[in-house]
Structure 1
Amino acid sequence: MPADSTNGTRPIDRNGTIAQARALQAQGRLDEAAQAWRALRDANPGFAEARIHLSTNAFDQGDRDACLSELREVTRLLPDDPRAWSTLAARLRHFGLTDEALSACDAAIACDPKSVKLRAEKAHLQQSLGEFDAAERALIKLLRRSPADTDLYRMLMTAHRVTRNDPVLRQMLALWKDKRLNDTGRMNLGFALATAMEQLDEPRRVFAYLDAANAAQARLAPDDSEARAQQAAATLAAQEGADLTPRGPRMQPRPVFIVGMPRSGTTLVERIIARHSGATAGGEMGHALRRARLRFGPPEAMTPLADIPDDALVDWAADWARLATRDTGAASGVVTDKAMMTEQILGLIRRGMPGARIIVVHRDPRDIALSIYRNQFRLGQHRYANALTDIADAIKAFRAAIAHWRARMPEALHEIRYEDLVADPEAQTRALVAAAGLEWEDACLDPAAGSGSVRTLSVAQVRQPIHAGRRQAWRKYESEMQPFIDAWGDQPWD
Structure 2
Amino acid sequence: MQNDISQAQRAVQGGDFRTAQRLARKGLKADKTHPGWMNIAGIAECGLGRHKAGLPHFQLALKLAPDFHDARRNLAQTLVLLGRTDEADMHLRQLTDANPQDAGAWALLAQVGMARGDDVAAKAAVDRVIALYPGQAHGYLLRARLLGQTGDEMGALADLERAAELEPGNVEALIALSLPLARADRPDAARTVAERAVALAPGHVPARLALAMRLVEQGQTEAAKEQYRAVLEITPGQPEALEQLAQINSGAENAALIPQALAALKAADDSGPAKGQLHFALARIAAQAGDEDGFAKHLTRANAAMARLMPYDAGADTRLSEALMARFVPGADRDGSGDGVAPVYVLGLPRSGTSLTEAMLGAHPAVHPLGERIAPGRLLAPLINGNLPFDEQARATFRKGEAESLPALPDGTRFYTDKMPENYRLVGFLLTARADARVIHLRRDPRDVALSLWQAHLAGSALNYAYDLRAMAHRFNQYARMMAHWHAEFPGRILDLAYEDLVADVEGASHRLAAHLGLDWVPEMARPDQAAGQVLTLSANQLRQPVHTRSVGKWRKHEAMLAPFIAGLDPGLWPELGQARV
TM-score calculated relative to the size of structure 1: 0.85
Q: 1:408-454, CA deviations, whole angstroms, 9 ceiling, x for partnerless residues?
A: 22211110100001111111110012113322122111111224321
Q: 2:387 aligns with which of 302, 314, 338?
A: 302
Matched, 1:389 2:478: no
User: Quick one: distance in 1 between partners of 2:269 and 2:408?
Assistant: 38
Partner residue, 2:415: 334
| AA of the residue aligned to 2:205 | V
* Native 8 Å contact 1:254 1:332 kept in 2: no
Report the more deviating stretch, 84-93 or 210-219.
Answer: 84-93
Partner residue, 2:212: 123
Partner residue, 1:210: 299
User: Quick one: distance in 2 between partners of 1:481 and 1:371?
Assistant: 11
User: Quick one: distance in 1 between partners of 2:326 and 2:223?
Assistant: 50
User: Quick one: distance in 1 between partners of 2:508 and 2:275?
Assistant: 44
Report the more deviating stretch, 384-393 or 257-266.
Answer: 384-393
| AA of the residue aligned to 1:445 | A
| AA of the residue aligned to 1:95 | A
Determine what percentage of the aligned residue pairs are the same residue: 26
User: Quick one: distance in 2 between partners of 1:161 and 1:315?
Assistant: 49
Distance 1:105 1:415, change over 3 A: same
Task: For residue 181 of structure 1, report the CA deviation from its aligned partner.
Answer: 4.2
* Native 8 Å contact 1:293 1:302 kept in 2: no
Matched, 1:365 2:453: no
* Native 8 Å contact 2:287 2:295 kept in 1: yes
Matched, 1:74 2:181: no
* Native 8 Å contact 1:363 1:419 kept in 2: yes
User: Quick one: distance in 1 between partners of 2:300 and 2:186?
Assistant: 38
User: Quick one: distance in 2 between partners of 1:198 and 1:480?
Assistant: 14
Distance 1:170 1:322, change over 3 A: same
User: Quick one: distance in 2 between partners of 1:464 and 1:316?
Assistant: 37
Q: 2:376 aligns with which of 268, 285, 288?
A: 288
Distance 1:465 1:251, change over 3 A: farther
Q: 2:358 aligns with which of 270, 274, 294?
A: 270
Partner residue, 2:276: 187
Partner residue, 1:229: 318
| AA of the residue aligned to 2:398 | W
Partner residue, 1:10: none
1:259 aligns to what SS in structure 2? strand
| AA of the residue aligned to 1:316 | F
1:411 aligns to what SS in structure 2? coil
Q: 1:226-279, CA deviations, whole angstroms, 9 ceiling, x for partnerless residues?
A: 1111111111112234426x4144342201111200111111111111111111
Task: For residue 185 of structure 1, report the CA deviation from its aligned partner.
Answer: 2.0
Matched, 1:423 2:504: yes
User: Quick one: distance in 1 between partners of 2:127 and 2:230?
Assistant: 45
Instruction: Show the 5 A alignment for 1:234-253.
Output: 234-243=323-332, 246-253=334-341
Indicate the structure whose relative CO is greater, using CA pairs within 8 Å and at least 6 residues apart.
Answer: 1
Distance 1:320 1:201, change over 3 A: same
| AA of the residue aligned to 1:313 | R
Distance 1:211 1:472, change over 3 A: same
Q: 1:204-223, CA deviations, whole angstroms, 9 ceiling, x for partnerless residues?
A: 21110011011100111111
Gapped regions of structure 2 (runs ≥ 5) = 1-99, 577-582
Distance 1:52 1:488, change over 3 A: closer
* Native 8 Å contact 1:248 1:310 kept in 2: no
User: Quick one: distance in 2 between partners of 1:405 and 1:88?
Assistant: 37
Report the more deviating stretch, 418-427 or 138-147.
Answer: 138-147
Distance 1:76 1:234, change over 3 A: closer
Distance 1:74 1:289, change over 3 A: closer
Instruction: Show the 5 A alignment for 1:435-454.
Output: 435-454=516-535
Report the more deviating stretch, 248-257 or 387-396.
Answer: 248-257
Q: 1:134 aligns with which of 202, 223, 233?
A: 223
| AA of the residue aligned to 1:476 | K
Matched, 1:410 2:499: no
User: Quick one: distance in 2 between partners of 1:288 and 1:73?
Assistant: 25
User: Quick one: distance in 2 between partners of 1:354 and 1:37?
Assistant: 43
User: Quick one: distance in 2 between partners of 1:249 and 1:165?
Assistant: 52
Matched, 1:466 2:551: no
Distance 1:350 1:164, change over 3 A: closer
Partner residue, 1:313: 395
| AA of the residue aligned to 2:353 | G
Report the more deviating stretch, 102-111 or 467-476.
Answer: 102-111
1:480 aligns to what SS in structure 2? coil
RMSD of the TM alignment (CA)?
A: 3.3
Distance 1:252 1:27, change over 3 A: farther
Partner residue, 2:172: 83
Partner residue, 2:70: none
* Native 8 Å contact 1:63 1:326 kept in 2: no
Partner residue, 1:343: 424
